Amino acid sequence: AYPKRIALLGSTGSIGQQTLDIVRCFPEQFQVVALAARSNLDLLAEQVREFRPSLVACFADSAELEQKARALFPNAILGERGLLAVATHADADVLVAATSGLMGLRPTMAAIEAGKTIALANKETLVMAGHIVTEAARRNGVSIVPVDSEHSAIWQCLHGEENNQIRRLILTASGGPFRTIPPEELRDVSVEQALAHPTWRMGPKITIDSATLMNKGLEVIESYWLFDVPYERIEVVVQPESIIHSMVEFCDGSIKMQASLPTMHLPIMHALTYPERLDTADKNLIRELHWPSIAALHFEELNLERFPCFRLALEAGKRGGTYPCALVGADEEAVAMFLEGKIPYQGIAQMLEAVLEQHNSIAQPDVNATLEACAWARRAAREWGEKHLAG
């Protein structure tokens, strides 16, 4: 039923802004009831003027940001309390969880307990705490719908199908900016090169994760939780054009794939409108895929030696316990240190490996244990990085 009322965590980010593009195109269908961001308060102020949400939250984790937030938004709720208030806003039908990093878990859990549909972009939440989040969703009869393009593709392929007839999920990967450079040159790649993704414009953390293929490892784990398919039946193939967003092979050998030019508007919109579709002709939102101009689609095997982060992520996912939390925590810190220019590109994988080796996993962690394992991994990663890698 329209209008769908949206609470949006991370409104100033790449996914957040694209979510608001959709609302702007379909003002009858969507209404923004709550917005939350962290540091880009000028953009948040513009969004508040345009969309008039009844609730505004700022994470504002410094004295300076807090002061600015109080001046711009006298009624805003600050800190984690604000994120929780947005996630559970009484008027919201759906929470778009689009913060980057590790702050997504508690708000997402709170929204599930409050019965909201979750349009999930923040994959770290599901990787850290897949067992907790999916169990809570089941218990509360809440749907977690994917925003990530690969998972949206798989979900679309599965509409009208039975899960027990899946033979394989085949995730596609662009291969990132370092798909073809000689391995010996990886040592000297710069932050700018790693940030120059060939097919997608995204926030900095996921862009670096896409260069290392960590992102694809996280997506395999995300698929495991979203679609309940064992790891042996989840594969990855490189599709450099990013036109085929993923595929499902069924037990009879038939394969479905979902295609479009690379755009996040489409998967975000599908998460918000399922089971319906909105007509985007005349909206200037989704570029039409003109097949004859696509001369060829290419597929390649993923080179595991070139991308150790992918292997480390998969191992952590399969081992379970708090290994995925340690993975996500260590990666958060490793990517931050790489972006700060403190460690070389290949230090990211080295740091992950070292932290996972030191980690004492516990089985079936609850939310607190999950967040503790992440926090431990961040500290361990920074210490290890400073000792072994920082120049």
Q: Contact residues for ligand NDP (CB under 6 A)?
A: 10-16, 36-40, 59, 83, 98-101, 103, 121-124, 148, 200, 202-203, 206, 264
Minimal distance in Å, beta carbon 130 to ligand NDP?
Answer: 14
Instruction: Express the helix, strand and coil content of the chain in percent, nearest 5 each.
Output: 50, 15, 35
| Residue 36 contact partner, candidates Mg ion, ligand NDP, none, CB within 5 to 8 A by sort of partner | ligand NDP
Q: Which helix (H) or strand (E) holds 167?
A: strand 166-173
C-alpha neighbours within 13 Å on the C-beta side of residue 55: 23
Is the Cβ of residue 200 or residue 250 nearer to ligand NDP in the bound state? 200
Residue 159: what residue type? H
Comparison of 36 and 355: residue with beta carbon closer to ligand NDP: 36
Q: How far is the CB of 224 from ligand NDP (least distance, A)?
A: 16
Q: Residue 274 touches which of ligand NDP, Mg ion, none (CB < 5 to 8 A by kind)?
A: none
Shortest CB 205 distance to ligand NDP, Å: 6
> By Cβ distance, which residue is nearest to ligand NDP?
13
Is the N-terminal amide bond of 204 cis, ω within 30° of 0?
no
- Shortest separation between residue 125's beta carbon and ligand NDP, angstroms: 8
Paired with 30 in beta bridges are: 4
Q: Taking CB under 5 A as the rule, which mask of x and - marks residues 327-366 in contact with Mg ion?
A: ----------------------------------------
> Least distance from C-beta 42 to ligand NDP, angstroms?
9
CA dihedral sign of residues 194, 200, 206, 214: negative
Nearer to ligand NDP, 52 or 81 (CB): 81
Three-class HEC string of 58-119 = ECCCCHHHHHHHHHHCCCCEEHHHHHHHHHCCCCCCEEEECCCCCCCHHHHHHHHHCCCEEE
Q: Residue 196 in 3-state DSSP?
A: coil
- Tell me whether strands 244-250 and 255-259 are parallel, antiparallel or unpaired: antiparallel
Report the residue number, 36 or 112, with the smaller CB distance to ligand NDP: 36
Q: Do β-strands 234-238 and 166-173 pair in parallel, antiparallel, or remain unpaired?
A: parallel
148 interacts with Mg ion by CB under 5 A = yes
Which two structure tokens, joined as six digits, stand for 134? 């999916």
Q: Which does 15 bind (CB under 5 to 8 A by kind): Mg ion, ligand NDP, none?
A: ligand NDP
- 124 binds Mg ion per the rule CB under 5 A: no
Q: Which is nearer to ligand NDP, 14 or 346 (CB)?
A: 14
Nearer Cβ to ligand NDP, position 79 or 362? 79
| Tokens, residue 40 | 């880009």
Rg (CA), the chain: 20
> Which residues sit at the interface with Mg ion, rule CB under 5 A?
148-150
